[in-house]
Amino acid sequence: MLTKYGMNQWLTTAVVVYPIIGACVWLADNGEPAWWIPAGFLLVLWMCFAAFFRDPLRRPASNNPADFLSPADGTVSAVIRVAHHDATNGPALVIRIFLSVLDVHINRAAHDGTVVGLRHQPGRYLDARASAGARVNENLLLTLRLDDGRVYGIRQISGAIARRIICGVKIGQRLDRGQRYGMIQFGSTTELILPQPERATSLVQEGSRVYAGRTAIARLSALDSTK
């Protein structure tokens, strides 16, 4: 399955490439077998491009209501606690995930919540693997309110190759845990920001491999109480 967030790209290239492939096949079938080579090459090239927009079905590995799922596929590049974050308006636990060009790039909600904030910040396009990129690159911060009133954030951060952040939600919209809401094209970083770091536990460490909508990466205790 290919994502709707990249339909303009993969559908447009298909419209351009497939008639050329068809012409090559026609020539190959009519006494010019050498045309099978460009036909095969173009087909493989388009499939590699389309694979970037793949959108696999996912089921969460944990049904614990206190668990937060990974918002992105990739490798955990940092697990840090900060004294203040705009997403939580206070201390926060931040789990940063690096996505290579080979990863699935669909972003998903980490937990059930209502969208209460969308903030786009222009910036630079440093390598997404560099810690400085997380601070100065273009990014979009999505803030969601949990049913108990606390808020958490997901931040999509662009990279040297990724220059387009897509976030297909609006203020007031309800997102379910694991629900798709956007993507970044083509390589990038995604952060999960949790409130009350004294109550938040990371279930992953730097170097852990995670999958959006499947891997439980953090746990926030007492979701039904803010005491």
CB atoms within 10 A of CB 7: 11
Distance CA 162, CA 146 (A): 30
- Give yes or no: 188 in active site: yes
Distance CA 39, CA 23 (A): 8
Q: Which residue has the tokens 């969208």?
A: 115
Distance CA 157, CA 183 (A): 10
Residues in the chain: 227
Helix H segments across 5-146? 7-29, 36-51, 131-136
Residue among 70, 77, 188, 208 flagged as catalytic: 188
Would you call 29 helix, strand, or coil by DSSP?
Answer: helix
Query: Which residue numbers are catalytic?
Result: 188
